Structure 1
Amino acid sequence: MDTLFIKNMVCNRCIMVVQNELDKLGLDVKSIKLGEVVVGKELTAEEKKKLEEAFTPLGFEVIDDKKSRIIEKIKNTIIELVHHQDNGAKTNLSEVLSSKLNHDYNYLSNLFSEVEGTTIEKYFIAQKIEKVKELLVYDELSLSEIAFRMNYSSVAYLSNQFKKVTGLTPSHFKQIREDKRKPLDKV
């Protein structure tokens, strides 16, 4: 068995694309999740080369060094938390990352900042704001429902953080998005 760590896998569609490429190469996939694939056998240098050639045009990359693997696991854990878990439970990010990656949070935080040039917290906030944008565009939830779903203590706190990151209030962002949309009969 061989575990491959793959950079830039961020969604279920990425998993399908990677699975498809692995199938084309005839590799026996035992498990696949964001950023990580387990294949049935140790890959040869030739198979790894073919994999790189298949992944690169699709925006994926096999990660070899330990630090990059840890960074990718941090990002994938945050993406999973923010975008793929629909729970109202408050989570302590440092505890989640420490337990999932089996490292002290200070080590993870320092490594992430050193390699990415930003903090884990800022990356987490950026992901949350992206999710808020998505929910605003869907227009199915009120701002207070979005604040609750995204674990903000208040609508005001969400609005302030949204404005800090985007330069717009949530309502202004939503208005701009609506202004750009054309009615179906005008498309």
Structure 2
Amino acid sequence: MVCDRCKKVVAEELEALGYKVLHISLGEAEIASSGNEVDMDTVRQVMTDNGFELLDNRKSKLIEQIKVAIIELVHRQGEADLHINTSDYLSEKIGADYHHLSALFSSFEGITIEKYLILQRIERVKELLVYNELSLKEIAHLLGYSSVAHLSNQFKKVTGLTPTHFKEIKEDKRKTIDKVHDGAKL
């Protein structure tokens, strides 16, 4: 779950199954224990029907934690130190060695953490371009790019379009966060 709409759907579906939802945050849901055992097969099927994957093993949960941490980093970059070291951030946030996290992520996702971060940043750039409230220079600064040229080159490498051309087109401008690395050119 990576957005408020996702959290709402998960809460509604769990409540429809008769569970009391205590807390939902990015990547996890906590339900009240009613003494009855949770029917994980039913929960898994309902979540799958809604486009979610139920993560129940330790490595999958760790991958989800990495993704959530990267998404949070990209969306708060304008508020935080723009030159934060991603490996230090992830190690501290997740409490594990970065080299272990990197190897695990690459083996499960088929791309490196660095490429996933770039893809998330480009999706954030797309979002900001669609809002049309900031100049490209302001977006580059907000997301910690060294220059507009660096942002533009990375944007074109990933999307095949310049940021200016992207702003001009009207259809299929963005992907949902959970689909960011599907079919990426990087």
The TM-score with structure 1 as length reference comes to 0.82
Q: Counterpart of 2:18 in 1: which secondary structure?
A: coil
TM-score normalised according to structure 2 size? 0.83
- Aligned-partner Cα distance in 1 for 2:28–2:73: 16
Which residue of structure 1 lines up, in the alignment, with residue 170 of structure 2? Answer: 177
C-alpha contact (below 8 Å) 2:7/2:26 kept by paired residues: yes
2:138 counterpart letter in structure 1: E
Q: Does 1:63 align with 2:55?
A: yes
For residue 30 of structure 1, what is the aligned residue in structure 2? 22
Matches within 5 A, 1:1-187: 9-41=1-33, 44=37, 47-83=39-75, 86-90=78-82, 91-177=84-170
Q: Cα distance 1:133–1:58, how it changes in 2: closer, same or farther (>3 A)?
A: same
Contact conserved, 2:77 with 2:144, CA < 8 A, in 1? no
Provide the C-alpha distance between the structure 2 equivalents of 1:116 and 1:12, rounded to a whole number of angstroms: 24
State the identity %.
Answer: 56
Higher strand share: 1
* Runs of 4+ in structure 1 over 6 Å off: none
What's the offset of the Cα at 1:88? Answer: 4.9
Contact 1:27 1:40 in 2 (8 A): yes
In structure 2, C-alpha distance between the alignment counterparts of 1:58 and 1:29, rounded to whole Å: 17
- Counterpart of 1:184? none
Deviations 1:7-49 (A, max 9, x none): xx1211101111111222222322210111122227725x212
Unaligned 5+ runs, structure 1: 1-8, 181-187
Distance 1:142 1:38, change over 3 A: same
SS of equivalent residue, structure 1 residue 98: helix
Question: For 2:19 and 2:77, how far apart are their aligned partners in 1?
Answer: 30
SS where residue 74 of structure 1 aligns? helix
The higher radius of gyration belongs to 1
2-structure distance, mates of 1:43, 1:75? 32
Measured after TM superposition, the shift of residue 95 of structure 1 is: 1.7
Q: CA RMSD in A?
A: 2.1
CA distance in structure 1 between the partners assigned to 2:36 and 2:104 by the alignment: 29
What stretches of structure 2 of length at least 5 have no aligned partner?
A: 174-186
CA contact 1:32–1:38 (8 Å) conserved in 2: yes
What secondary structure is seen at the aligned counterpart in 2 of 1:177? coil
Quote how far apart the aligned CAs of 1:112 are: 0.6
Q: Provide the secondary structure at the position in 2 that maps to 1:61.
A: coil
Q: Does structure 1 retain, via aligned residues, the 8 Å contact 2:77–2:143?
A: no
